[in-house]
Each structure stands twice: as C-alpha cells, then as structure tokens.
Amino acid sequence: MRDTSVAAVSFILLLSFFGCAPNAEEKQVRQFITAHVAGIEPLTTQANLNYWEASTTGKRELYDTLGKLQVSIRQTYSDPQEFAFVREVRRAGDVKDKRLARQLDKLYYAYLQNQIEPELLKQIVDLDTKIQGQYNNFRATVDGVTVTMSDIYTILTTEKDCRKRESTWRASKQVGDAIADDLIRLVRLRNQAARKVGFENYHTLSIVTGEQSVEELDRIFDELCRLTDEPFARMKKELDRRLADSYGISPKDLLPWHYHDPFFQRTPLVYDQDLDLYYRNRDVKELAERYYAGVGLPVDDILARSDLYDREGKYPHAFSHDVDRSGDVRILCNLQNTERWMETILHELGHAIYSKYHDREEPWLLREPAHSFTTEAVAMFFGRMSRNPAWMQEMLGLSAEERSGIEEVSRKYMQFQQVLFARWAMVMYSFEKQLYADPDQDLNNLWWELVEKYQLIKRPPGLVDAGWASKLHFTTAPCYYHNYMLGELLASQLHHHIVHDVFRLTSDQDASYVGDDRLGRYLREKVFGPGALCPWNEMIERATGEPLTAKYFARQFVQQPL
Ligand SMILES: [Zn+2]
C-alpha cells in the first residue's frame, strides 16, 4: 500500500517535472472554465443566431433581443470576483499547461475590458448612442441644399468645378463639427474607465486587451513609414500632376477637395479600370465555389447556409458569421456579377473557411482566429484575387492579350491603393494614440499636422475645423483601425511565404493558386487549425518563419518598379 503511494507520488512528481500533471491551481482553473463555458457558450450561440436573423430580415424586435443578449454576455464578463480569480491565478503563474494558460489569457482580457463600474459604463453607452444618433440623423448641406454621402462621393469623383468641389468636401465634414465636443467627452470618459483598472489611458488599455503592445505597433508602423516614404512621395507627385491637369490648375494649388475621397483614403479614379466587363456575364458565386474547392477548401456547405442576394430589409453590406464554433459558418452578401462583389465573396469566404477549419478538438475558448486581424489577413489574401491577372486568366479563361492589358493598369492601381491606405492608416493610428494621450490639446491642428506629414496633403487655408470627427470609427470602433493595416501586412507575408516556401516558385508572377490544394493544406495546418491556441505573433512565426513585418507588403506593393 505504502509502496504504491510512494510510486504514485514519484510518478506525479515526474509528470509535474515535465509539466503534465495537473496541479491544484490547474484543477481549479479547469473547473472555472467548465462552468464559465457552460454559461457563455449557449448565450453566445443564441446571440449569434439572433444577429443573423436580425441582419437578414431587418426586424426591429430582433435587434432589441440581440441588445439584451449582448448585455447578458457583458454582465458575465464584468463580474469583479470572477475577474479577481482569473487575474490572481494568472499572476501566480502556476498554470503550466499551455492550452489552459492560453484559455486563462483569453478570459483575463475579456474580463479586463469589461471591468467598468455600472454607472460609468452607462454614461459611456449613453453618450456613444447619442453620438451615433446625431451622426445618423445629420444631413449635410451644400449652399443650403441637403446632400447624402452618396451624392458627396459622386460629386468628388466627377465634378470639375473646384468651387463646387470645395463646398461639397466641406459638407462631408460638417458632421464632425457637430459631434466633436461629445466625442471628446466620450474620450475622457473612456480614459476615466481605463485609469480605474490601472492603465494610463483607454488607447493603451484597448491595445493591451487586444493582446498587442503600443511599442510593438509603433515599431511596425515606423517600419512601414520608412518603407513607403519615398515611393509614396513619388506616386503622389504623379497623381498630383494628373489631377491638376484634369482641373486645369497647377499641382501646387491642389487642396484636400481635389482628391476623390473626403479623407484621401481611396485612390482617385485616374488609375482605375473597368474590370466589371470580365465578370458581367459570369456567376461570381460559382467562380468562388469552384476556386475554393480547387485549393482544397470546399465551401459548398457554407454557401448552402448563407444569404447571398439582395432583399428588402436586409443588411446591405457583407460579413462572415461563425454561429457556434462547431462548423455552422455562414456569409451574408448582396451579390451582383461585378468585380467588387467578386472580391467581396472571396473575402467573406476567406473569413468563413478560417472559422470552419478550426480544430474542433480545441477547447471552445480557443476555437477562434488568433486575432481579428489574422482572419482579416486571410480574407484580404483571397479578396485580392479578383484583380489578380493570373487568377482572372485561369478562372475566366482570358487570352494572353487580355491578361497583359489588365496587368498593366491593375498593378499600378493595386500599388497605389495599398500604399495610399498605409499612409492613411498611419494618420489614423497616430491621431488616435495622441487623442487618448491628451484629449485637451488642439486636436484640429494635430489632425492636419499628421495629414500633411503622412498623406502629403495641404491643409485648407484659414482656421481648420473638426472634420476629423466625421470618421465614425473614432466613435464606434475606437483604437481598432490599425488592425486593418496589420491585416494587409500579414496577407502579403502569407503570400510571400506560400509562393516561395510552399509552392517553391521563384516569383509571384503567375501565382494564382488555382486548382492547387497545397494552399488549403498549408492554411489548415498552420493557420486555421490552431485557432487561438498561440498568441498571434507566435502563430505567424510558426506559419511563416518570422514575426509580423512590413517587409513583404513593401516587396509586393512598393519595391517592384512601376
Ligand atoms: Zn473582413
């Protein structure tokens, strides 16, 4: 009897030495997680189903139920005792089992971002709702006449009369002036909430709960800035010449309203080409289904559950939706046979396959993408195909001449679009960081300093207004914008790795991956399967051999000669 227990003890000691035996803390954590998931999983699935019903029908009452379910989920994560337990075991560092420690991390951040006192939370939610309401009900005017956002885009892309352009551009910013004071109040409230949980401001809190660090983001954005400085200046100079010619003015007289987008975040139409003619008589759904099947990532089950076509009351854009983390994945689209919808369906299915192929053996808390920007990266990787000449040639059966015609314009457009977006993302990232660091500074001036520095656009003469506040992301998705850029960087890093190390090609000239299931096998094994088992940068390093870098984005869109 005695001998047996000694043997058992040594066996356990031996196991602990190798980190396999559950210790008391691990046992407690396991029990906590089991109970937690038993409550949160059905609630999440129910909210997800409800969101789907609401988005596909537009019924008001479904949105109300959804709101209530979201509050219940939030309440679970705002429990201070549970948070204290999670924080303490995590701090003690006794949980050695990797899978368990990761789940603990996920829980810690989920609880941390919800530790706001009910009274303060109510003030934040109310102010947020008020600003969104003002935003939705605001009607911009040009010379006393009301204009919609879509009128503004049409005028900015077509109008040649510079005076009319100026008043339209100014109209697009009026809402900013109307909501800026409330938005700054919201920033202060968010900062107050962040300080209560020990962070200097809300920006830092958001970055940390997103499992990122400000130093890491600064490093990546600095690298990106350095790699795009000179090429952007060159591209912008050429663009300015073309735009100035189109208005019959000198490039030095160009002002913000001469660019085709209110924030100069999209490429002016001077380089665009009509790719719709290649998709007009095709079925974008069939093309996407055939393509994904060919690369070993069949999507027929996803498409069968999806809601693909335009209908009254339905949400007008697109998204991918993982309902239960157990294979019920769907996409919502409003398909038309155009290049934009080809891109969109490839993009949304990229998100969808990421979710579909999470290893179902992994615990529920880890059956998620490594980060929201890693699923964005996969979606962007596939979405980029709709303009890829090699892909278009293979999928649409184009001739060599048609392909080279597309190649010439499309490459230039893609390069400009990507570099331009990178510069715009730098403005957004730097501004938000400084906005939360000091909301009382002269923000209107700060905004224009950054626009001048990164986008090389001159500020309008006279006193500058709070046009920056018209960017709704500051209200609805605070401190998140940088993730779109990280998604683009990772899409390029994956592309580079797949071309050179998985397919072993010397150049990406013909890389369209059509009909090659090595692509699917690689992504399933290295990216989709592990889900959130590793922190995002560890997943990226395991999948591509190095941590996230701006180098491959620059190689794909900057360093190739124009
Ligand atoms: Zn997306």
Query: DSSP of 356-424, one letter per residue?
Result: HTS-TTS-GGG-S-SSHHHHHHHHHHHHGGGG-HHHHHHHHT--HHHHHHHHHHHHHHHHHHHHHHHHH
Tell me the CA–centroid distance for residue 328 and ligand 1, in Å. 18
- Give the model's pLDDT for residue 271: 72
| Whole-angstrom distance, CA of residue 68 vs CA of residue 94 | 37
Task: Say what the pLDDT of residue 561 is.
Answer: 47
Tell me, in angstroms, the distance from the centre of ligand 1 to residue 94's CA. Answer: 37
Ligand 1 centroid, distance to 379 Cα (angstroms): 6
Tokens of 88: 């303490």
Predicted confidence at residue 14, as pLDDT, reads 44
- Kindly list the protein residues that place their beta carbon closer than 5 angstroms to ligand 1, a single-atom ion: 379
* Dist. CA 377 → ligand 1 center (Å): 8
CA of 347 from ligand 1 middle (Å) equals: 6
Per-residue pLDDT in tens (0 to 9) along the chain, 562 residues: 344 444 444 444 444 444 455 688 899 999 999 999 999 999 999 999 999 999 999 888 998 899 899 989 999 999 999 999 999 999 999 999 999 999 999 999 999 999 988 899 889 989 998 998 888 888 999 989 999 888 898 899 899 999 999 999 999 999 999 999 999 999 999 999 999 999 999 999 999 999 999 999 999 999 999 999 999 999 999 999 999 999 999 999 999 999 989 999 988 777 767 899 999 999 999 999 999 999 999 999 999 999 999 988 888 889 999 999 999 999 999 999 999 999 999 999 999 999 999 999 999 999 999 999 999 999 999 999 999 999 999 999 999 999 999 988 888 888 999 999 999 999 999 999 999 999 999 999 999 999 999 999 999 999 899 999 999 899 989 999 999 999 999 999 999 999 999 999 988 877 889 999 999 999 999 999 999 999 999 999 999 999 999 999 999 998 754 4
Q: What pLDDT score was predicted for residue 558?
A: 87
Q: Are 273 and 407 in contact (CB under 8 A)?
A: no
Q: How many CB atoms lie within 10 A of CB 328?
A: 18
CA of 87 to the centre of ligand 1 (A): 32
Q: Is 101 exposed, middle or buried (0-12, 13-18, 19+ CB in 10 A)?
A: middle
Residue 21 confidence (pLDDT): 58
Q: How far apart are CA 271 and CA 103, in angstroms?
A: 47
- CA 378 to ligand 1 center in whole angstroms: 9
pLDDT, position 4 = 41
Q: How far is CA 137 from the centre of its chain?
A: 26
How many angstroms does the Cα of residue 349 sit away from the middle of ligand 1? 9
pLDDT reported for residue 15: 44
Q: How far is the CA of 260 from the centre of ligand 1 (A)?
A: 24
Determine the Cα–Cα distance for residues 391 and 395; give it in Å rounded to an integer.
Answer: 6
Distance 486 CA to ligand 1 centre (A): 12
pLDDT at 560: 55
Ligand 1 geometric centre to CA of 288 (Å): 16
489 CA to middle of ligand 1, Å?
A: 14
Gap from CA of 317 to ligand 1 centroid (Å): 11
Tell me how far the alpha carbon of residue 483 lies from the centroid of ligand 1, in angstroms.
11
What separation in Å is there between the alpha carbon of 355 and the centre of ligand 1? 13
Show Cβ contacts of residue 447 under 8 Å, excluding neighbours closer than 6 positions: 427, 431, 464, 467, 468
How far away, in angstroms, is 543 Cα from ligand 1 center?
A: 20
Find the 318 Cα to ligand 1 centroid distance in Å. 9
The CA 280 to ligand 1 mean position distance, Å, reads 24
Q: Could you count the other beta carbons within 10 Å of the beta carbon of residue 102?
A: 20
- Whole-number Å distance, alpha carbon 54 to ligand 1 midpoint, is 20
